[in-house]
């Protein structure tokens, strides 16, 4: 048995989410193909209970590839030092400033500057907790926001959404937030004015008024939101500790929200505050120069580092704004699913599907049930060129085709749509294309059979259903199993004279989705690294012909990465398996 020793922050983060008075002994068995590794963690003090968790080694690999991809993205955008601090937080979890300095072996001032950059670009959230041994002192901790880092690959998609809905003026304003992470409205005004030349006072006032109207449109459509609280205070001891309960003779521990989840909830503003529009007084303060400007516009915002004794946090006296990734991802989800519905059920069905998604008031990416009243659906259809001519009976027929469930609330008809069927159809298209490209027609037939049946099937039956030779079918099944695309089970058949081993095969969608996510993260990492290499070569080469060839190669790789990101959205951002 191999004994692994985990770092103290990782153990503290793991233990803090469980019942504090219980000492744990955790036994994990990690599987990778045919090899098994014993993995044991023991904590001192009296063990009152033990938990046994079964985790595949594939999960560890997914985390490694995803972490490397996030670090590579930060490195290409902000440099190696910032990427080093980001990688430290992704690897070790939530840390204090002193712990980051110890793990990275960097100077404290450099770590602070890196944290400033990460906070500025919404990649790190700070929060404070009581300092151990002192009731009146606090300690600032930092946690990396992995999803926000991955979203940096999708800026071009986000800009396309805003441009399509609100026009090029809103796109230019929104681009400033994507480039700078978070800005005040006064800084956005100054940034826009600095790009214009030869503007007199009347033109400036008119331009500022247009910017305010454009910005309020972004807020009204929820593409822009006010930044969360910069450093919420979290007191883990104030939470009611959940006592272990017996259920069917076994002791179980219901885990309270982790300290990171509590920090996110405490930092999130109320909807009325997140999406409050800008008044005319804000424009006047920018015009008079009374707004607090901490950066020069036209460039990425830099923070002052003179306060060497303070932890890096964002000012609480200014109102900062940022892009609302939740809304943007919801729009991408609507677009991808609507295209699938359009290909399966027709153009009108795709239009009605989009109307339901847009009429849904709770627009959250992970939600699989969306609901909207019939009146709101019809209002959305009237705003679409393809939906103006639809009659009420035709709309209701399409709602039935989409398997919408109807209910009544306050004399209004409400239609609920389950997105699981559409998401699975989208995922199946991606999976089948991947399997066919990697394993050919025979692998595609076998995989499709196991996917549609969803149960254990023996080798002979698989060969019979797919019209594949038994020997070739067994070899292909072994390849799929070796790559962790399918699962296998061996049973013994009792005959009249001797026993024989029979192999049964099946597809576990949840386990397989983790395998696909691993492959997608790995492929995205390879593409990102290759793009970074081409950028470095481009800076060293002086010949115009060679530079053009490198630009063409980089463009092809970037388009491939954007296409691969569609698969990442389906299996990581939209799926509940992660």
Each residue of 384-406: pLDDT tens digit? 998 888 999 999 999 999 999 99
CA distances from 157 to 76, 178, 325, 335, 557 (A): 19, 12, 11, 11, 16
Average pLDDT, the chain: 80
How far, in Å, CA of 507 to CA of 505, rounded?
7
pLDDT band at 288 (very low <50, low <70, confident <90, very high): low
pLDDT of residue 155: 95
Instruction: Assess contact for 508 and 475: CB atoms under 8 A.
Output: no
Residue whose structure tokens are 């956005």: 188
Question: Strands 250-252 and 412-418: what pairing?
Answer: unpaired
**158: nearest Cα among 331, 367, 354:** 331
User: Between residues 525 and 502, which one has the greater pLDDT?
Assistant: 525
pLDDT of residue 281: 61
Residues in the chain: 578
CA distances from 373 to 229, 244, 349, 366 (A): 34, 43, 17, 21
Question: Strands 95-96 and 124-130: what pairing?
Answer: unpaired
Q: Is the pLDDT of residue 16 over 50?
A: no
Instruction: Assess contact for 447 and 466: CB atoms under 8 A.
Output: no
Instruction: Assess contact for 333 and 381: CB atoms under 8 A.
Output: no
Percent of the chain surpassing pLDDT 70: 77
pLDDT of residue 55: 32
Residue 5, helix vs strand vs coil:
coil
User: Between residues 544 and 358, which one has the greater pLDDT?
Assistant: 358
Q: Is the dihedral of CA 424, 428, 429, 431 positive or negative?
A: positive
pLDDT band at 156 (very low <50, low <70, confident <90, very high): very high
Each residue of 401-445: pLDDT tens digit? 999 999 988 788 899 999 998 998 898 888 888 889 889 999 899
Residue 82, helix vs strand vs coil:
helix
Give every CB contact of residue 184 below 8 A, 6+ residues apart in sequence.
Answer: 291, 292, 318, 319, 320, 321
pLDDT of residue 40: 29
Percent of the chain surpassing pLDDT 90: 45
Give every CB contact of residue 54 below 8 A, 6+ residues apart in sequence.
Answer: 28, 29
Structure tokens given for 291: 């707004």
Give me Rg for the CA atoms of the chain: 27
Residue 180, helix vs strand vs coil:
helix
How far, in Å, CA of 477 to CA of 456, rounded?
13
pLDDT band at 204 (very low <50, low <70, confident <90, very high): confident
Average pLDDT over residues 168-188: 93
pLDDT band at 39 (very low <50, low <70, confident <90, very high): very low
Residue 242, helix vs strand vs coil:
coil
How far, in Å, CA of 451 to CA of 465, rounded?
13
Each residue of 305-342: pLDDT tens digit? 333 345 565 555 578 999 999 999 999 999 999 999 99
Each residue of 56-108: pLDDT tens digit? 333 344 478 999 999 999 999 999 999 999 999 999 999 999 999 999 999 99
pLDDT of residue 38: 30
pLDDT of residue 238: 64
Average pLDDT over residues 187-206: 79
pLDDT of residue 365: 87
Each residue of 236-283: pLDDT tens digit? 766 544 444 444 444 445 567 888 888 889 999 998 899 998 877 655
Average pLDDT over residues 284-303: 45
**pTM given for the model:** 0.79
- State which of 217-231, 240-254, 441-455, 478-492 shows the largest mean pLDDT: 217-231
Hey, which residues does 407 pair with through a beta bridge?
414
H-run or E-run covering 35: strand 35-42
CA distances from 413 to 29, 350, 405, 491 (A): 51, 21, 10, 53
Q: Which residues of 244-262 are buried (b: 16+ CB within 10 A; e: fewer)?
A: eeeeeeeeebeebebbbeb
């Amino acid at each position: 048995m191999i004994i692994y020793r985990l770092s103290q922050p990782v153990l503290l983060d793991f233990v803090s989410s469980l019942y504090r008075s219980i000492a744990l002994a955790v036994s994990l068995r990690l599987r990778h193909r045919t090899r098994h590794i014993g993995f044991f963690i023991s904590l001192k003090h009296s063990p009152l209970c033990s938990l046994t968790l079964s985790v595949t080694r594939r999960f560890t690999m997914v985390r490694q590839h995803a972490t490397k991809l996030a670090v590579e993205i930060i490195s290409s955008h902000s440099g190696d030092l910032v990427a080093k601090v980001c990688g430290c937080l992704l690897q070790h979890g939530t840390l204090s400033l002193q712990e980051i300095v110890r793990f990275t072996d960097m100077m404290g001032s450099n770590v602070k500057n890196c944290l400033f950059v990460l906070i500025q670009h919404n990649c790190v959230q700070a929060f404070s907790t009581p300092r151990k041994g002192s009731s009146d002192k606090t300690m600032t901790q930092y946690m990396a926001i992995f999803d926000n880092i991955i979203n940096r690959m999708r800026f071009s998609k986000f800009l396309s959404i805003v441009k399509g809905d609100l026009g090029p003026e809103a796109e230019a304003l929104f681009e400033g937030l994507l480039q700078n992470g978070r800005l005040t409205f006064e800084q956005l005004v100054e940034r826009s004015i600095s790009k214009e030349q030869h503007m007199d006072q009347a033109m400036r006032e008119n331009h500022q008024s247009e910017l305010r109207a454009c910005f309020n449109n972004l807020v009204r459509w929820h593409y822009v939101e006010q930044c969360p609280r910069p450093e919420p205070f979290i007191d883990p001891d104030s939470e009611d500790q959940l006592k272990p309960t017996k259920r069917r003779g076994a002791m179980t521990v219901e885990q309270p929200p982790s300290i990171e989840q509590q920090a996110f909830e405490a930092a999130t503003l109320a909807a009325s505050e997140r999406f409050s529009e800008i008044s005319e007084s804000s424009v006047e303060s920018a015009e008079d120069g009374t707004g607090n400007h901490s950066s020069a516009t036209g460039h990425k915002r830099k923070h002052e580092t003179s306060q060497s004794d303070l932890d890096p946090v964002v000012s609480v006296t200014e109102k900062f704004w940022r892009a609302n990734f939740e809304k943007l991802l919801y729009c991408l989800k609507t677009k991808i699913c609507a295209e699938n519905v359009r290909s399966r059920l027709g153009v009108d069905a795709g239009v009605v599907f989009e109307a339901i998604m847009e009429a849904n008031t709770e627009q959250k990416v992970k939600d699989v049930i969306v609901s909207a009243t019939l009146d709101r659906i019809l209002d959305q259809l009237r705003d679409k060129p393809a939906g103006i001519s639809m009659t009420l009976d035709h709309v209701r027929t399409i709602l039935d085709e989409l398997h919408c469930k109807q209910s009544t609330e306050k004399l209004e008809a409400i239609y609920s749509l389950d997105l699981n069927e559409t998401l699975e159809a989208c995922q199946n298209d991606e999976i089948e294309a991947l399997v066919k490209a990697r394993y050919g027609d025979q692998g595609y037939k076998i995989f499709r059979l196991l996917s549609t049946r969803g149960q254990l099937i023996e080798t002979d039956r698989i060969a019979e259903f797919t019209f594949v030779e038994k020997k070739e079918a067994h070899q292909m099944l072994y390849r799929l199993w070796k790559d962790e695309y399918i699962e296998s089970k061996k049973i013994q058949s009792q005959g009249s004279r001797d026993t024989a081993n029979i192999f049964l095969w099946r597809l576990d969608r949840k386990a397989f989705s983790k395998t696909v996510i691993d492959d997608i993260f790995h492929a995205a990492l390879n593409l990102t690294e290759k793009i970074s290499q081409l950028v470095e070569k481009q800076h060293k080469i002086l010949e115009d012909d060679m530079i053009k060839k490198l630009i063409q190669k980089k463009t092809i790789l970037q388009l491939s990465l954007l296409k691969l990101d569609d698969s990442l959205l389906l299996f990581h951002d939209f799926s509940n398996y992660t």
